[in-house]
Amino acid sequence: MIITIEQWIEQRAPATIVFAAVVLLALIGYVDHIAPAEVAFLLFYLVPIFLITWKFEKPWGYFAGVASAIVWAIGEYSGSHAKAWVAGWNLVFEVGLFLLFAGLIGSLHEHLFIQRTLNRRLEEAMAEVKQLSGLLPICAWCKKIRDDKGQWHQMEEYILTHADVDFTHSICPDCREKARR
């Protein structure tokens, strides 16, 4: 059975997701630190942000974004002789980028949740509704309805078999007046 990343995240306990994100972030930071400067690991830092944001919503995603930017800066500039203003500018850029990513993922998660809720409600409503549609051939004199096979049925009988309704009978004021005469 194949499951999606979303299903995998939803099936895991919150502590498992936090542990996976922290270990993954530490591993990415370590590999980024030992890798040559020409190798960029920027996209890999988005994975822990995605995990945290999807499981815990935007505020924790923002926290994960800042943490990822700090780990990135430590891995990128530890032992480096880059100018402080360049490292600072890059850190601000990374924080902004990671916060934007967390915000987008959080919004996507919220919208998908709303969409799924609405779809579920619509499916439930459609399951409850059994409606007649189209044209009904009805006798102008006796009000019997002709079905698809050409058979004529009393209106109540036809509606009972083709719609989810029950009839109760009563007498309207006009008929009650006619019956009194």
In a domain, 121, yes or no: yes
Same domain as 82, residue 31 = yes
Structural domain includes residue 138: no
Asked if residue 26 is part of any domain, the answer here is: yes
% of the chain residues with pLDDT over 70:
94
Residues 158 and 122 in one domain: no
In a domain, residue 133? The reply is no
Q: Are 76 and 153 within one domain?
A: no
Amino acid 130: pLDDT: 60
Instruction: Return the amino acid letter for 11.
Output: Q
| Number of structural domains found in the chain | 2
Is there a single domain that holds both residue 167 and residue 114? no
Lowest mean pLDDT among 65-69, 105-109, 118-122, 172-176: 172-176
How far apart, in whole angstroms, are the C-alpha atoms of residue 68 and residue 91?
10
For residue 28, is it within any domain?
Answer: yes
User: Are residues 151 and 100 part of one domain?
Assistant: no
Residue 136 is assigned to a structural domain of this protein: no
Residue 181, H or E segment: none
- Alpha-carbon distance 148 to 63, whole Å? 64
pLDDT tens-place string over residues 37-58: 778 888 999 999 999 999 998 9
**Residue in the structure block whose two tokens are 């993954």:** 24
Residue at 20 is within a domain: yes
Q: Which residues contact 80 (CB under 8 A, 6 or more apart)?
A: 37, 87
Burial class (CB in 10 A: 0-12, 13-18, 19+), 64: buried
Mean of the per-residue pLDDT values for the chain? 88
CA 66 to chain centre: 25
pTM for this model (two decimals):
0.66
**Axis crossing angle, helix 58-77 with helix 14-34, rounded to the nearest 10:** 20
Domain for residue 135, yes or no?
no
Please say whether the dihedral angle defined by the alpha carbons of residues 170, 176, 178 and 181, taken in this order, is positive or negative.
positive
- Torsion angle, CA of 45/50/56/58, rounded to 10 degrees? 90
Residues 48 and 74 in one domain: yes
Between CA 48 and CA 54, with CA 53 as vertex, the angle to 5 degrees is 100
Domain that holds residue 40: 5-128
Is there a single domain that holds both residue 151 and residue 122? no
